[in-house]
Amino acid sequence: MSYNEKEIMGYIPISNGTPPSPSPSPVHGSLTWKRAVTNTLKLAVVSTAVYTYIAWPLSDSHVYGPKVNFKSQCAQVESLFPNNTSPALDAILPTILSDEYRETSIKYLQNAVKIPTMTYDGEGPPGEDPRQDVFYEFADYLKTAFPLGHKAMSLDKVNTHGLLYTWQGSDSSLKPTLLMAHQDVVPVPESTIPTWDYPPFGGDYDGRFIWGRGSSDCKNQLIGIFESIELLLQADFKPTRTVILSFGFDEEVGGYMGAGHLAPFILEKYGKDSIAVIIDEGMGIQNLWGVLVAQPGVAEKGAIDVTITIRMPGGHSSVPPPHTSIGVLSELIQLIESDTWPTYLDPLNPYYSTLQCGAAYAPEFPKNLNKLLTRSKRDAPKLCMKKDLLAEEAAKESLFHKYLMTTSIAVDVISGGEKINALPEEVTAVVNHRVNIGDTTDLVKLKIARIAGHVAKKHNLTVHAYDGVINSSSIMLDATRTLEPAPITPSTVDTVTPWSVLSGTTRAQYGTEVVMSPGLMTGNTDTRFYWELSKNIFRYDPGYDRDGDDSIGRIHTVNERISVKAHIETVKWFVQFIRNIDEAKMA
């Protein structure tokens, strides 16, 4: 998409320069009755707005409409256990909890972590980039570690390193279950290795945690899925509903070579909306407001990277212009970062459901938040608001909660300049955005273009916004990795649904004190390529350690680790979920 000059220059920045003075008004000797009435009415409107949107929702004295029943907005299901059983199947859970199996499970994950399946930006296709050869070793390890699974399931290698396993069910009329994870991990910068407590690819076990890159993102889920299938096969479980495993190998750099080929392969074989449920890595269980809340991701924010390139004449640095291209780029970045997106909670945003669940079940749910949420559910008078008061209040919980309700701006990459005595002729920066529910990538593109237009006019440059034109003395914009917010997975429980099966399995494992709530992913997973395959996509990490586990906070950084207890719970959950979804009578 390109924008014309009128659209670009229509942007008025919040800073830089003095706003124009208002036009002079006629001077009157006295206030007329018409002006008095007008001012009185304005005061009344302002007073009403203040009361309605500030004092009213924060006071206890008002009574407006019926009391909101948030439990009806956050319905919970009963614990769900498999009905079809046998002595061997009954023995699986005790086996998982035994000391002997614990040691086996530890070895499974340790050995997976030891294989450094790192992926890098800018890698070539399989067969051309030797850095991908490590995935041959990882595939061989899976085959050795899980012989029963490899015997029972067919394997298609898609685009060389994408692994697609099919465990054929007895009833081909039932939609399959699709379980996902990715084989790759983010790189470990050599400069950080001395700061790790254990080597990043050592797979060390300290008695509670397994340490290393990929231990919690997300070889734990991949290995946990394989362990569950191996245990089910040992118990002679034969699925009615086909089970598919899809493991990409470049999720950390966008998934284009892995999931980007795996999803079309499945689509061609099964067709659109052919999968009953998809489970991929994602959100887990945490303590929110004094209650345990499980938040499977039912949606993801969108994403867009905007690359800014500024070209200006070169020359000797002893005779510089007022601003070099680096200075102009710095000014543009400052304006982009300063003009933040509003905090806004769209009614379709899954975090709205999380707040409802908190109001319904959490003993420490904030009082002010409860009142604002209550007001949002009633037919209160609608006045023009500049701020979403509910979202603003909810954002006070943490920075993470804020970014569940706003489009983020992150300048992640910058480059330019070749020599200390030569003016930089070309500089670039990449601005990453994660797009809020209710916003679009086109809005992001237009906003950046308008800010760039203001800077260009100030410095006598031209703007080429998303048109592919390359010129000197210009600001060029290019949008890459454009992804709209994901379709929202249904979370109804009025009938047997994938959400109800997932919820019932979780509450059976951890107890009915766990509240199930739809969650929102701020990042993107490989499921971005699978939207056509199923309306029921969940990004979920079912492993939970009640003794505390900070693995989420260590993803993509030094000292990544996962507790063995959380990993064992992952194995246990997938065993039960595969059985429960196999029996589910869904429409």
Residue 556 known to bind ligand: yes
Residue type (1 letter), 578: I
Instruction: Please check if 433 is assigned to a binding site.
Output: no
State how far the Cα of 488 lies from the Cα of 346, in Å rounded to an integer: 13
- Give the integer Cα–Cα distance in Å for 435 and 403: 10
Residue 182 counted as an annotated binding residue: yes
Q: Do 302 and 528 form a contact (C-beta atoms < 8 A)? A: no
Q: Is the peptide bond before 218 cis (omega within 30 degrees of 0)?
A: yes
- 439 annotated active-site: no
Question: How far, in Å, CA of 583 to CA of 581, rounded?
Answer: 5
State the number of CA atoms in the 13 A half-sphere of 526 facing the CB: 33
**Cα–Cα distance measured from residue 433 to residue 410, given in angstroms and rounded to the nearest whole number:** 6
| Residue/partner pairs of 458-462 with CB below 8 Å, 24 or more apart | 458/16, 459/323, 459/328, 461/310, 461/312, 461/328
Residue 566 burial (10 A CB sphere; 0-12, 13-18, 19+): buried
User: Closest Cα partner for 115 from 208, 28, 32, 185?
Assistant: 185
In 357-452 the beta strands, taken as DSSP E runs, fall at 408-416, 426-435
Distance of CA 141 to the CA centre of its chain: 30
DSSP state for residue 387 in the 8-state scheme: S
| Catalytic annotation, pick one of 251, 439, 545, 560 | 251
Nearest alpha carbon to residue 289 among 418, 214, 136, 396: 396
Establish whether 280 is an annotated binding residue: yes
Query: Using CA atoms, how far apart are residues 557 and 189, in angstroms rounded to an integer?
Result: 10
Give the span between the Cα atoms of 216 and 158, in whole angstroms.
25
Asked if residue 307 lies in contact with residue 448, where contact means CB atoms within 8 angstroms, the answer is no
- In whole angstroms, what is the distance from residue 12 CA to residue 454 CA? 8
Print burial letters for 295-309: b (CB count within 10 Å at least 16), e (below 16): bbbbbbbbbbbbebb
184 has catalytic annotation:
yes
Backbone angles phi, psi at 451, to 5 degrees: -65, -40
Amino acid at 267: L
Query: 217 a known binding residue?
Result: yes
Q: Which of 184, 230, 250, 526 is catalytic?
A: 184
Q: Binding site, residues?
A: 182, 217, 252, 280, 556
Active site residues: 184, 251
Q: Binding site for Zn(2+), residues?
A: 182, 217, 252, 280, 556
